[in-house]
Structure 1
Amino acid sequence: MPAVLSRLAAIFVAACLLFTAQVVTTPQRAAAADPGYLMLHFTGEGSAGQQMYLSHSADGLHWNDLNGGAPILRSTIGTKGVRDPALVRSPDGSKYWIIATDLCISCGQSWSDSINNGSRNLVVWESKDLVNWSEPWLLNVAGAIPDGRNAWAPEAIWDPETKDYVLYWATNVPLDGRTKHRIFYARTSDFRTTTTPQIYIDRPGTQELIDTQIVEVAAGVGNYRYVRASGDGQITIEGSNSILGTWTKLGDLSGIGLTGTAGTTGTKVEGPMWMKFRDRNEWALYLDQYAIGGGYMPVTTANPSAPGTYQIPASGSYNMGVNKKRHGSIMNLTAAEESRVLARWPSTPAKRLQSFNFQDRYVRHTNFDVRIDQNITSDDAKFRLRPGLAGSGTVSFESVNNPGYFLRHANYDFQLVRNDGTAQFAADATFRQVAGLADATWSSFQSYNHPDRYIRHYAYQLRLDPITTATGRGDATFRVVN
């Protein structure tokens, strides 16, 4: 009997050890191992703040500014400013679009101008891979609206019923001499042409509505397939089972403790932006605290159609990064998309190129020409040293304030030129960083496709020349500094 008990005990211990080993060694999915989230946004007023910025998060709550905190795209058309962007992915993942408000406050436009006689256009970019973007174009969406004064805060959602996009935005059509923004919509398949705009959301009387965003909710969560959050004095929550069907008001977020100016609650936020956590049945609704200049903060819920379930996360449970993040769009990334985005826009610090023989001068661009000038600290003299466009072990110089534009030689002269994606451009914009020709502790930059030539300045202009003299060696030597 004791032997039997001893044997049973041994078996029991072995089983426990086996179970313990299985518990310990079973792989646990870490949140950071899954693809993360991409936020497209603007940062504030002025020509620099009203451009396209990207941030990345592994968990949807802690955000890192990409591209060293600099814009990834800059509008060169319309008002030359962009706000309120939406990031749209085609159902098959083969195309992406950015659609944004054509608006530049404090850089040529006042709020009164933009409200009463603003741009009727949206700014649109297109991409096949989320990192290489077309030149922007203007899409006139409000020109066909009688007495339509502007076009703000665009959004778009794929409609599976009609196999195209419902594009919706706010336009001011005055009522009884007062402004009245309401939401219009049109259909589009390519963001180049649209159907005739129709009223989508029109609040009673003089109540205005500028911001709204729709999220599709999985079956089994709440009673509605679609939920939209709208900034119409507070954040109003509505539900529907069809994008263009009947919407039911479910409540608002005025009671959850969002503080605005003068102690008011729930009424001083705008720009609702949805995000679904990929690892659990929980959503974040990001809200822009415009009244206190606070930028985005999240509220969370397990049921978007139940306003009473929204909660403000505990202090310290989220971090928005360095840049202020304002009215934008969040995309759940695939692994391939995340890899491409993080490779294209790492947080590479901005650098300057200091001349060796004129040490008070730095390489800078002006009107897209390139030269060395004295004591330049502006973004015109700041570049990101990217991995060379044409080959490994090389560098290319991307402008900080004109993202997508690189130092490129043509006929041995230098200009700042937008990357057109061609092999010729890549070769012309690629250099080998070698020991300085005048001082080995500095650097010189040898042309990739003309290896007998180096970047040098001549009469303060940047050129690509053979170097044969002591003066040339000094002209072709630079120091990479912060």
Structure 2
Amino acid sequence: MRRTLAGFVVVVCALLGLSAPAQAAAPPAGSWTRYTMTAFTNSSESNMYVYESPDATGFRLLRGPAFTPPTGLIRDPSIIKHSDGKYWVVYTTNWTGNTIGLASSTDRLNWTFVRNVTIPLTVQNTWAPEFFIDSNGSVNVIVSLSTNGADFKPYKLTASNAALSAWSAPQVLSGIGPNNIDTYVVKVGATYHAFTKNETTKYIEYATASSLTGPYTISRTGNWAGWGNPREGQALVPLDNGGWRIYFDGYTVGQYYFSDSYDGFLSWSAPQTLPGLSGFARHFTVLKEVVSGGASLPVNVTRSFQSVNYTDRYVRHRDYLGYVDQVTSASAATVKQDATFTIVPGLADANCYSLRAANGYFLRHWDYRLRLDANDGTSTYAKDATFCARVGSASGTVALESYNYPGRYLRHYNYELRLDLYQDSDTFRADSSFRPVTAWA
């Protein structure tokens, strides 16, 4: 069910020994959340592509190819922002062998090969290295190693200098295996959470530990999250609203999916295909940063919102439902009033926005339809009525992203206002872009 009680979630997490993710705030005006993806593609295992998104959903190409190693492959590139101010990726260099590759960049566009790191073990396969920066600042790589192609286990390497030129001996993550690959680890509070593909069942499993190297306890197996199988290449990223997003590859059907959790990884939303890149981008990670720039709106002022592609139409409530309707100087006073909203700090996050009508009701979504409702004081209402400003498709315009459904935007369709998942099309970008203008009333 989409309506959950926050208090119940906290109790369940406590009973199961889990920590609910900390409630993160959207960045303040003058800054925005930037998600950078590094991926290899269906078309090439030797070229890395770089993408950018404001919402962890709609990724636009920054450069592709952005990096080609001098030899070998660049599968499974994993990105971090290092303490030296540079971006680094670690990647799979070949189907067989005992090396992983490193490259760095100052701008995410131009990359330089740094070195291959030889792992001091006799192995047949060295796959899916994933960067993990621990809470103590240590830089680690979690890598899947196999001696015969069927006994994969995750191992930890820890950088022993800031140049990432010296690494510790590999140490196994105990409790995961003996045939698990693509292990991805995040830390919440004092707990390490590992998402790992069981190569026998082809499901992504879930394990926890109090130490990075374990011992891990695998507590979720089979189709526990509703993601199906076979699935692999999983990677996680925190969202601005306190949730977590996981991406994973449905490689047999040529689709890449994402799914969200808001209760400490207990339950997940139904998987959805990644817009634009599903079936093209392969096994990637996503880096979250807060950077300067972005879109913002004035607060505690009245504005009307003009459609970008139907400039005679404005966001308006009619019979308590949202539309883009024609409004002119000759329109009735009630029509002009219905197309006027006061922009206030977001009810769920003051760094986002809520739109209040003259009667005190707020524009909110319900079953993905925009409507005008009285504030019932619940957290669900507050989230439904909160939208975060993103840069629109034309100069001076904004797109309004749902706070509690990241990647879904207020857009018009057949002149009705809906909350739709981002689509990689000019039509969607225009339908979801609005120009704040002088209020009609």
Distance 1:33 1:89 in 2: 18
- Whether 1:228 aligns to 2:189 is no
Instruction: Report what 2:169 is aligned to.
Output: 196
Distance 2:269 2:219 in 1: 16
Structure 1 outlier segments of 4+, above 6 Å: 28-33
The superposition leaves residues 377-433 of structure 1 with CA deviations (integer Å, 9 ceiling, x where unpaired) of xxxxxxxxxxxxxxxxxxxxxxxxxxxxxxxxxxxxxxxxxxxxxxxxxxxxxxxxx
Q: Under a length normalisation based on structure 2, what TM-score does the superposition of the two structures give?
A: 0.54
- Whether 1:282 aligns to 2:243 is yes
Structure with higher helix content: 1
Summarize the Cα distance change of 1:102–1:269 in structure 2 as closer, same or farther, 3 Å threshold: same
Summarize the Cα distance change of 1:36–1:234 in structure 2 as closer, same or farther, 3 Å threshold: same
Q: For residue 179 of structure 1, what is the amino acid of its counterpart?
A: A
Summarize the Cα distance change of 1:193–1:286 in structure 2 as closer, same or farther, 3 Å threshold: same
8 Å CA contact 1:283, 1:303 repeated in 2: no
Aligned counterparts, 1:293-442, within 5 A:
293-294=254-255, 296-306=256-266, 309-313=267-271, 319-321=275-277, 324-335=280-291
Q: For residue 253 of structure 2, what is the amino acid of its counterpart?
A: I
Q: Which residue of 75, 78, 84 maps to 1:86?
A: 78
8 Å CA contact 2:31, 2:292 repeated in 1: no
8 Å CA contact 2:42, 2:279 repeated in 1: no
Q: For residue 283 of structure 2, what is the amino acid of its counterpart?
A: H
- Whether 1:102 aligns to 2:102 is no
Distance 1:211 1:257 in 2: 19
The superposition leaves residues 299-335 of structure 1 with CA deviations (integer Å, 9 ceiling, x where unpaired) of 11013432xx1121567xx514477121111011231
Instruction: Report what 1:212 is aligned to.
Output: 183
Distance 1:87 1:236 in 2: 23
The superposition leaves residues 347-387 of structure 1 with CA deviations (integer Å, 9 ceiling, x where unpaired) of xxxxxxxxxxxxxxxxxxxxxxxxxxxxxxxxxxxxxxxxx
Q: For residue 186 of structure 1, what is the amino acid of its counterpart?
A: L
Q: State which structure, 1 or 2, has the greater radius of gyration over its C-alpha atoms.
A: 1
Instruction: Report what 2:207 is aligned to.
Output: 238
Instruction: Report what 2:232 is aligned to.
Output: 270
Summarize the Cα distance change of 1:314–1:234 in structure 2 as closer, same or farther, 3 Å threshold: closer
8 Å CA contact 2:27, 2:290 repeated in 1: no
RMSD: 3.0
Instruction: Report what 2:38 is aligned to.
Output: 40
Summarize the Cα distance change of 1:337–1:192 in structure 2 as closer, same or farther, 3 Å threshold: farther
Aligned counterparts, 1:148-227, within 5 A:
148-161=123-136, 163-174=137-148, 179-188=150-159, 189=161, 190-201=163-174, 203=176, 207-217=178-188, 219=189, 225-227=191-193
Q: Name the SS of the counterpart of 2:67 in structure 1.
A: coil
Distance 2:294 2:108 in 1: 9
Q: For residue 40 of structure 1, what is the amino acid of its counterpart?
A: T
Summarize the Cα distance change of 1:149–1:167 in structure 2 as closer, same or farther, 3 Å threshold: same
Distance 1:314 1:167 in 2: 29
Unaligned runs of 5+ in 2: 1-25, 296-441
Q: Name the SS of the counterpart of 1:312 in structure 2.
A: coil
**TM-fit CA distance, 1:231:** 0.9
Instruction: Report what 1:254 is aligned to.
Output: 223
Distance 1:203 1:241 in 2: 14
Unaligned runs of 5+ in 1: 1-27, 104-113, 259-265, 340-482
8 Å CA contact 1:170, 1:184 repeated in 2: yes
8 Å CA contact 2:192, 2:210 repeated in 1: yes
Q: Name the SS of the counterpart of 1:38 in structure 2.
A: strand
- Whether 1:76 aligns to 2:47 is no
Structure with higher strand content: 2
Q: Under a length normalisation based on structure 1, what TM-score does the superposition of the two structures give?
A: 0.50
Q: For residue 212 of structure 1, what is the amino acid of its counterpart?
A: T
Summarize the Cα distance change of 1:304–1:337 in structure 2 as closer, same or farther, 3 Å threshold: farther
The superposition leaves residues 229-277 of structure 1 with CA deviations (integer Å, 9 ceiling, x where unpaired) of 111131111123332343222313614443xxxxxxx230101110111
**TM-fit CA distance, 1:292:** 1.4
How many residue pairs end up in the alignment?
265
